[in-house]
Structure 1
Amino acid sequence: MLIIAHYKLIALYCMSTPVSNAQYAVLTGDIVNSSKLNVTERETLLRSLTSLFDKDQEGSENDLKLKVTFEIYRGDSFQSLLDIPQQALRIALIIRTYLQSQVSIDDRLIASDARIAIGIGSVDSVTATLAESNGEAFRFSGRLLDTLKKEPNQIAIKSRQQTLDDELNTALVLLEGIIGKWTALQAEVVYYKLQNHTEVHIAELLKVKQPAINQRAKAASWVAIERLLIRFQDLLTP
């Protein structure tokens, strides 16, 4: 899989660990319409999502070459902690495109999706479980998720800067209009492009010709998504 080696995320510790006043990103999310899945589908989906960010107690590199803190809690919810907040939107989109295109049972796609609230702020402490950790980024993310069901977008951001939030959340509403038109095949291509795979490599992985990948990327408005990722990163860079 594609290397994103410079995305370093905070590892968990058995005891509460004080964290500096730096800015972090907390992603809190839940699976959309998970109650419509049967038990086998739900268990497969959650197990597969966990394996995307597989870790041990000290944190380990997953297929994406990320060290990631990621947990499932309350059955169909999840949380992740990043010490490089500029990459929060990319990670959120990787999760959503993975759910839309990569989970299957006996070659039958279990197409799902997620709401994801991104909180940007300080972190006071990290404990053995993210659910028990605390700090500004955790509070922003948790409270924001509670309001997302009423919003047109399924990714949103909350930080200390209202003008930043206003710009990005407006862009995220527009992004939702793009995501809502994706097919599973288009989401699959975006999933790999988010990891910087070339179209030639994606074609090899999916066993199709490169022009088909290019066509799916264009239909998914990949250029617009890429521009938004750059803008997101620029705005969150001190």
Structure 2
Amino acid sequence: MYGIITGDIINSRRIDAKAREYLYAALQQFLKTLQVEGWLKKVEQTGGDSFQCEVVDVKQVLRIALMIKCFVKANTITAPSSKQADATKKTLPATANAGVRIAASIGGVDFMKKKLSASDGEAFILASEALATLKTTYSELALLTSQPLLNASLASTIVLLDALAQKYFGRQAAVILQKLQFKKEEEVATIMGISQPGVNQAAKSAQWYAVEIALKYIEDQITLAYAC
């Protein structure tokens, strides 16, 4: 079984050009970092605002999708100004409506090429179908697997996770991103340069406890279904 993630930036063309350029570059670097750290096998960014990834551990496919969502949420507040002469180094606000639509899938693959865009099979088809569905709903996160009963059992939990994640912004998103990677609050505080109470408060306001329980349930169900 393969875990595939595909997604795109929402309302990308409404973002200021310089802010959009910054966001695309930052996202590309983040995906490469996840690859180096062993979360992703392959990464491909197409058309600037679209991307596709293959995960290392299929049971973590939704966790990694949430990491990407949180990264974008944490980086759509401001972006560097293009005015080099600006001594105050002001930032350009990104569009408040900017976000990311992400579809994850678990399934077989007919053939896997060096480039994900040249690969095909069930997992790629499921991810593409899930992303197309998201474009006609209010949801921004989806998971489709090769097992219909598993999909049905996870659907409502994923909707609730998506509803929480859509409300994240700034520090909340940045803290949840770190906690999704199993980092302790002391470590998150050091990485972000804030106090541990600040990390704790951000995690509480983002309802991390609920996200953690929901993800454990989802990952346990995937493990049972695929013996992974």
- Bin the TM-score by the shorter chain: 0.7 to 0.9
Structure 1 position 48 matched with structure 2 position 26: yes
Q: Who is 1:154 aligned against?
A: 140
The question of whether the paired residues in 2 share the 8 Å contact of 1:27 and 1:118 is answered with: yes
**Identical aligned pairs, as a percentage?**
34
Q: 1:25, 1:118 within 8 Å by CA — same for their partners in 2? A: yes
1:1-238 pair list within 5 angstroms: 23-54=1-32, 61-62=35-36, 64-102=37-75, 104-106=78-80, 108=91, 110=94, 112-237=98-223, 238=227
Q: CA 1:76–1:32 in 2, change beyond 3 Å: closer, same or farther?
A: same
**Alpha carbons of structure 1 residues 134 and 195: separation in structure 2 relative to 1, 3 Å:** same
TM-score by length of 2: 0.84
- CA distance 1:193–1:75, shift in 2 (3 Å): same
Query: Contact 2:9–2:49 at 8 Å: present in 1 too?
Result: yes
CA shift for structure 1 position 51: 0.8
| Structure 2 unpaired stretches of 5+ | 81-89
Measured in 2, the distance between the counterparts of 1:92 and 1:235 equals 17
Matched AA of 1:203:
A
Counterpart code for 2:5: L
Answer yes or no: is the 8 Å Cα contact 1:152–1:176 preserved in 2.
no
2: distance between equivalents of 1:143 and 1:183? 28
In 2: Cα distance, 1:53 partner to 1:45 partner: 12
Secondary structure in structure 1 of the residue aligned to 2:105 = strand
More helix by share: 2
Q: 1:50 to 1:202 in 2, by over 3 A?
A: same
The CA deviation at 1:83 is: 4.3
- C-alpha deviation, 1:183, in angstroms: 3.1
Q: Which amino acid aligns with 1:81?
A: E
Deviates more, 1:121-130 or 1:216-225: 121-130
Check conservation: 2:38, 2:56, Cα contact below 8 A. Answer: no
User: What one-letter code is carried by the residue in structure 1 that aligns with 2:47?
Assistant: R
1:182-204 deviation digits (Å, cap 9, x = unpaired): 23211111011111221112222
Quote the Cα distance in structure 2 between the aligned partners of 1:168 and 1:153.
15
Which position in structure 2 is the counterpart of 1:6?
none
RMSD across aligned positions (CA) = 2.1
Q: Secondary structure at the match of 2:183?
A: coil
Q: Shift of the alpha carbon at 1:159?
A: 1.7
Q: TM-score under structure 1 normalisation?
A: 0.81
Unaligned runs of 5+ in 1: 1-22
